[in-house]
Chains A and B, each alone.
Chain A
Amino acid sequence: MQALDGNAIGGLLIEVFGAEMTTATGTCAHCGAVAQVAELVVYLEAPGTVVRCRSCESVVMVVVDKRGIKCVDLRGLDKLERA
């Protein structure tokens, strides 16, 4: 499976958050690394969308589509702050 980056989910995140989020800053709940969403590692077909920390590779975000509803798991993030 190919590792992309957070640029690839800009549209999906606007759908979820209602705002441009690739420039938002996330703090990894596992290692504390701080990075812009565009810099995170993204797997699009995991199934669902899986986002990992570029420093420690922990899962920081999961988005799954269930019958047209986006289910979002952000437990891997301590903080997610818009630019």
Chain B
Amino acid sequence: MNLTQQLINGLVLGHAYALVAIGWTLLLGVARLVNFGHGQMYMLGAFVTWWAVVKAGVPYALALPIAMAIGALFGLLMQRVMLKATFEQNLVSIMIMTLGFGYVLQGGAALVFGSTGQILDTALSRSEIKLGELWLTQQDLAIVLVAIAVFVGLKWLLDGTRIGRLVRMVAEDPKLAQLAGVNVRRVYYGVFAFEGAAVAFAAGMVAPRTPILTSMGFEEVIMTFVVVVLGGIGSVTGSYVAGVALGLFTALFGALVSPAYTTAACFLVLIAVLVLRPGGLGAGSTAGVH
């Protein structure tokens, strides 16, 4: 095993995790919404991109916006159904509903795209970059660059613009924000549309690395959990750092110990953090609810 190669793999994987988690990070930070359908939305994004490229013959650069538009529309639909529960902060209902949405997506995608696995190939994923012994695809490089760009862009949007200020106000106290004249409903719709578009975009970027299956959402979401929880629920910078760290950990664990149990290992890391910092993450994260 070449350590440098594993570190490169880890960095690529880490940026992929961070990119996939970005929509949920914002959703959780702003609307305190937990989306268990996230993994299936990722699956949908991957399949729409695949369908557009392979079946409809659309260029990859155009397939991504198509997937994002469909993702955003689905996000808006979810938020429409869950709006009442969101205003009531009825987390129990919201969590179960998002599980239901994920299940509907899984059945629907199998119906439309068939239940066989597919490979999403792009021009970028076919061309390799070789540096002596080391290699990565151009797609890998694109994932890293795009993830950094998206995180920097989101950070700027949240900290430096008027929209960002409104979003942060709603995150802090939705009722007060409403009294101050902020259209809270529109912000909720906005973050959910962002979640849908962001995860679809991430899927279009990341899915060429692995075969895609309509049943993959159930497991896909777990890395996002770990990133979001380790990153300090709702923190954009924290998610980026947690994503990259998790990617390095996964790559090294897969190479040194066992690739089959990487999910289990990541979960143990999560448990360790939650137990070592009891009250910190768990209690702190729910302080603003109710």
A binds B: no
